[in-house]
Copies of this chain bind each other. A is one copy, B any other.
Amino acid sequence: MARASTTSDAFNAIAEPRRREILSYLAGTERPVGEIVAAIGLPQPSVSKHLRVLHDVGLVRMRCQGRQKLYRTNAQAIRPLHEWAGTFERYWQHQLSRVKELAEATVRQGSPDLNSPIANPESKPKEK
């Protein structure tokens, strides 16, 4: 099976960097496509396609004004993402506090076990 459709949900829609850029640009303001094109620096057809994806999942709203179409970010639709990520907040706080405890322990009793996973909460995995 292939990857899920970009229009299946907000998570798939925001996987594309240019779409996140557009969402940021349209946050709090309403802009016609032409201005988005100028601001983002992509060909107009590409911008229109991205806007279609964003619109399909409700991440942007559109309003017609003469021959222009004004788009704006629908911030409400981003809340679920924020909340999903937020469910992990207590865990990254945990990690931080464990690092802090480790640091304090180090000061008190000398060199800790540097191979402990607790000692390397930010060690990077191998590059792709």
Residues of A within 8 A of B (CB): 3-8, 11-12, 14-17, 20, 23-24, 27-28, 55-58, 61, 63, 73-76, 78-79, 81-82, 84-92, 94-95, 117, 121-126, 128
A76 to B128, alpha carbons, bound, how many Å?
19
Question: Does B3 lie within 8 Å of A17, measured CB to CB?
Answer: no
Contacting pair B16 A3 (CB below 8 A): yes
CB-defined contacts of A5 to chain B, threshold 8 Å: 128
What is the CA–CA distance of A27 and B84 in the complex, to the nearest angstrom?
12
Contact at B3–A3, with CB atoms within 8 Å? Answer: yes
Please give the count of copies of this chain that the complex contains. Answer: 2
CB < 8 Å: which of B17, B55, B57, B85 contacts A78?
B85
Q: Which of A63, A88, A122: most chain B CB closer than 10 A?
A: A88
Given contact pairs A12-B15, A76-B92, A125-B55, A24 touches B85 in the complex (Cβ within 8 A): no
What residue in chain B is nearest A30 (Cβ atoms)?
A: B117
Is B56 touching A75 in the complex (CB atoms < 8 A)?
no
Q: Are B85 and A73 closer than 8 Å at their CB atoms?
A: no
Chain B residues near A82: list those with CB within 8 A: 82, 85-86, 88-89
Quick one: closest B residue to A93, CB to CB?
A: B75
Report the bound CA distance from A90 to B27 in whole Å: 10
